[in-house]
Structure 1
Amino acid sequence: MASTASSAIKGAADILSLYFPIIGAVKLVVGEIYQIYENAECNKELCVIMVDRVKTAECSMDKIVRSIEKNKEDFHKKSYYKAFEKFKNILIQIRDFTKSVSKLKGYKKFLNATDVKNKYDHLTKEFDKCMDELHFAIDVSSAMDRELEAERVDKALEEVEQMLANLGDKVDTIAEDVGFIKAQITKQIDVHAKRIDPNELGDPMVQTTKGSVIKKIYKSAIDVACKPIKGQNENELAILGKLGQSPRILYFYGQSYINNNNVMVSEWAERGNLRELYDKFDIPWTRKIQIAKDIFQGITFLRTVNIFHHDIRCENIFVLRDLNVKIGNFKCAREVNGVSTNLSSLVTNIIRWMAPELIEKYKRDPSKHKNESVYTINCEMFSFGMLMWELCYEKLPYESWEYIKISDHVLTGERENIFEGKFKTFDEQQIQLEFIKIIGEAWRHQPELRITVPTLSLKLEELSRKYPIPPDAPLLLKDKELDLDGQKSQNRNQTLKESLLPKFDDDPEEIIEEEDIIIPLEVGTEMHKKKNYQEAWNCFKQNAELGNPAAKFWLGYYLHYGYHVEKDPIQARKLFKEAADDHNHSESQCRYAVSLLGDLNKESNEDIKDKNRKEIIRYFELAAENSSKPNVDAMYYLGDIYVNGKLKVHKNKERGVNYLRLASNSNHERASVLLKKLSG
């Protein structure tokens, strides 16, 4: 909360601490928008357009935040700080809009395609305005781009309108069927793994084993690895059943039974894992680019199917005969929304690649596993940065260090040493420097500042285009042929580590004052519960001015009941409608309908009254059937309307009773009373 005395925020580090919560919220919303697009039932094209815009903005945001030293004057400006908050709020509205138009049932909240297009135009206009204020680069700025985009939107809406017209009243039933089918498919994939007849697994010409893994020939043609199934492999089998589509994931053929053991049958990696490869050979730099790109494509694929690997390191990257690489060993993997994997027993093995926030979790009490949402895509990016370091220098990070020493080192913001090697060609030197930049951006201490999936994907693509593998290049080099860290040189290069870590100097011209700090909306609602109405009003007003739709509801609520301010029912109704439309806020939808209902008898014009009746029923239905939080009061009102034929609707007792039962089941007293009357 802001202090009463105004004072300037001191230091760029303090400035960054103001931005971190906003950046974190932006990342969360962006991830939700991607997820909505992936699960869209309709209007896929419109969702693609929104995702493209959001992706571009996210990349631009990351770039500007990472180069804060160059942009520090902007970050200290009050207007820039508030523009960042507006950016977050407009993304929330884009998320809610995309969610609505991506589902047949959600699309019904709009009156028609024109209503959708108007909402889209408003959001993109506000979005572009935010981008300009934040100096974010936008790829859709030209008039031609906008014209083509508008045509795509119109076409997408025409298709959905035609679909809805063809389906008529069947929309709700079909939407439910689609959800049911998706659930059944997911369940089937998770539960069943193909059984392979042991007779289909023959012996190779030369018997080969790697530890407990045995090489076999599947269907007389395919080299496979047979690995004994133990208790810890059950989750791995469930995860592997989903991953057959990606060429960057070690292919899982199924389960079988050989040598008195249940085994999992997977693709055979002739050259072992990546750590074993770099222990035997030096890997040419152009090939390292290809390897890093292929691994990251695998991680990106896992992200699209909502799976975290949890153990990204060279030892879990498997190398085929042709040096193609694939991600394997999914025993620690889990679905994004699943129960967090307990890594307590493995921490001593994987701590070298573990993000600081995860180390902190296990250091608090490594013997206890709490289902905290600590592991995110940012943890995976940190591990990939450490894998890049391992690949860059072809050795184990923090080699010979003990668990406690690594833990303390990383938690204080320290990292592995970065040295520049000695190279025969300029290109090799430049490739290592590009690797070093990526490593520095991936292992930042603050999770929200780490390089993002889209940005890193572009960087690796650009590197592979700029430095392709020459057709006459050797596949691998003799071990220790390359001077990767300059140790072979008598005058070893100075460490580059300091240049990678962010430096934040105090800025003598701070502009943001403490009183300008945006109080989170959740804090405002807590103030309201404690009847601190003045401070709560200030919080709601501050957030509403920055475009937060939920804050508009609270302003409307205060204006409706006269908390701290004079009652203003007209302005309250306007704010309820804005929150209802911009945020799909169910309580705002209900309260807007109730406010219209209260004034219905004051209107003498029958045409306006008919229009308002339809508006009342529409918003009650939006509130009662809200996918995020169905409103119980709206269910009761609809039940009363349909049972008694109010607002000039045709009586529909069955529909009305259904609404009343739903409300009654949620302990709505008036609905329960009305149901008893009807049954008596």
Structure 2
Amino acid sequence: MKLSECKHILRFYGVSSVENYSVMVFEWAERGSLRQLYEQKDIQFHYKVRIALEICRGLIFLQCADILHRNLKCENILMTESLEPKIYNFELACYTNDENNTSLSIDSESAGDILPWLAPEILTNSQYTIQCEIFSFGMLLWELTFEKIPYKGWKAEKIKDHIMKGERERIIFGALTPKIYQEGYKKIINDSWKQNPQERISLMKLLDMLEGLYNSIRRMFNDRALGLLPDKTLDLNDDLELPDEDISPVTQDSKKKDHKKIWSRFNVKNNNKILKYWKRKEKEI
């Protein structure tokens, strides 16, 4: 209930009973996790900066409430329809003044889920502090910026050795990121994941830098289109309405044929939901 005071944290409404099971009722976030969003949609750079800024505000609220999240990554940020991030999944959270709960054990099963975002001092069984949280936030910013899991495909020991040596993921911006803002954003990430915890930037300083970056870049974009993100790929989970004409260069010779002759429809049951798919028939390609 204390966390529900912040709009950048997923709101908790209470406990209910469904079919004799006790369930927790939370605010609805239409777009799913931030990881799902960047995998499915093209997120413009100014949206990413705004998302980062609002996550930072949520972390400052947690700091003021003496709470450490301890599992920051895009998978644990939910997104509303209007692209408002909501920090959630407090399964590993603890109070900063609880000495019995600030250490974070990493077993072989959980290593792949949390290791890429962890600060180097945690890998030596040190206490989890606000500096560790800031490091993880820096890794979250990298993940959001480049839209992939840090050190994806690496084994746990290789990741540990890499981090302990002071090495990090590479920061190489693509052509779609405005060059005039690349250095500022790069500095934000680099200042968050410094090897020495005491040298890492504070959350308040991070907030100032992100606000300055966002205020300077937002004028270049149309905020009226907020939330209208183009798909990265065809979303097969939707009930598709296919056009009567297929204008694909691969099937131009078939574009006057009925789409049901070119595409076949099938259903898949998943978690008591019926997912509807369309599949191109091989003989028509």
The whole-number CA distance in structure 2 between the counterparts of 1:303 and 1:266 is 22
TM-score (norm 1): 0.32
Equivalent AA in structure 2 for residue 246 of structure 1: C
Partner of 1:467, secondary structure, is: helix
Alignment counterpart, residue 206 of structure 2, candidates 447, 456, 459: 456
Asked if the contact 1:356–1:410 (Cα under 8 Å) also holds between the matched residues in 2, the reply is yes
Which residue is equivalent to 1:354?
A: 118
Asked if the contact 2:104–2:128 (Cα under 8 Å) also holds between the matched residues in 1, the reply is no
Alignment counterpart, residue 197 of structure 2, candidates 432, 444, 447: 447
- In the TM superposition, what are the counterparts of 1:267-286 in structure 2 within 5 Å? 267-286=27-46
Which residue is equivalent to 1:344?
A: 106
Partner of 1:479, secondary structure, is: coil
Equivalent AA in structure 2 for residue 389 of structure 1: W
Which residue is equivalent to 2:223?
A: 471
Unaligned runs of 5+ in 2: 234-285
**TM-fit CA distance, 1:431:** 3.0
Which residue is equivalent to 2:52?
A: 292
Higher helix share: 1
Asked if the contact 2:68–2:95 (Cα under 8 Å) also holds between the matched residues in 1, the reply is yes
Unaligned runs of 5+ in 1: 1-240, 362-371, 481-680
- In the TM superposition, what are the counterparts of 1:307-456 in structure 2 within 5 Å? 307-338=67-98, 339-340=101-102, 342-345=104-107, 346-361=110-125, 374-423=127-176, 428-456=178-206
Equivalent AA in structure 2 for residue 272 of structure 1: G
**TM-fit CA distance, 1:386:** 0.2
Higher strand share: 2
**TM-fit CA distance, 1:417:** 1.5
Partner of 1:418, secondary structure, is: coil
Partner of 2:3, secondary structure, is: coil
The whole-number CA distance in structure 2 between the counterparts of 1:471 and 1:421 is 22
The whole-number CA distance in structure 2 between the counterparts of 1:282 and 1:431 is 19
The whole-number CA distance in structure 1 between the counterparts of 2:224 and 2:14 is 38
The whole-number CA distance in structure 2 between the counterparts of 1:260 and 1:400 is 42
The whole-number CA distance in structure 2 between the counterparts of 1:331 and 1:343 is 14
Partner of 1:326, secondary structure, is: strand
Choose 1 or 2 for highest CA Rg: 1
The whole-number CA distance in structure 2 between the counterparts of 1:303 and 1:348 is 26
**TM-fit CA distance, 1:268:** 1.1
Which residue is equivalent to 1:60?
A: none
**TM-fit CA distance, 1:420:** 2.7
- In the TM superposition, what are the counterparts of 1:572-587 in structure 2 within 5 Å? none
Size of the aligned set, in residue pairs, is 226
Equivalent AA in structure 2 for residue 282 of structure 1: D
**TM-fit CA distance, 1:454:** 1.8
The whole-number CA distance in structure 2 between the counterparts of 1:270 and 1:472 is 19
The whole-number CA distance in structure 1 between the counterparts of 2:231 and 2:184 is 24
- In the TM superposition, what are the counterparts of 1:31-110 in structure 2 within 5 Å? none
With 429-438 and 441-450 compared, the bigger mean Cα shift is at 429-438
- In the TM superposition, what are the counterparts of 1:485-496 in structure 2 within 5 Å? none
The whole-number CA distance in structure 1 between the counterparts of 2:178 and 2:19 is 48
| Distance change in 2, residues 1:472/1:322 (3 Å) | closer
Which of 1 and 2 has higher RCO (CA within 8 Å, sep 6+)?
2
Equivalent AA in structure 1 for residue 83 of structure 2: L
The whole-number CA distance in structure 1 between the counterparts of 2:23 and 2:35 is 24
Partner of 1:254, secondary structure, is: strand
**TM-fit CA distance, 1:473:** 4.3
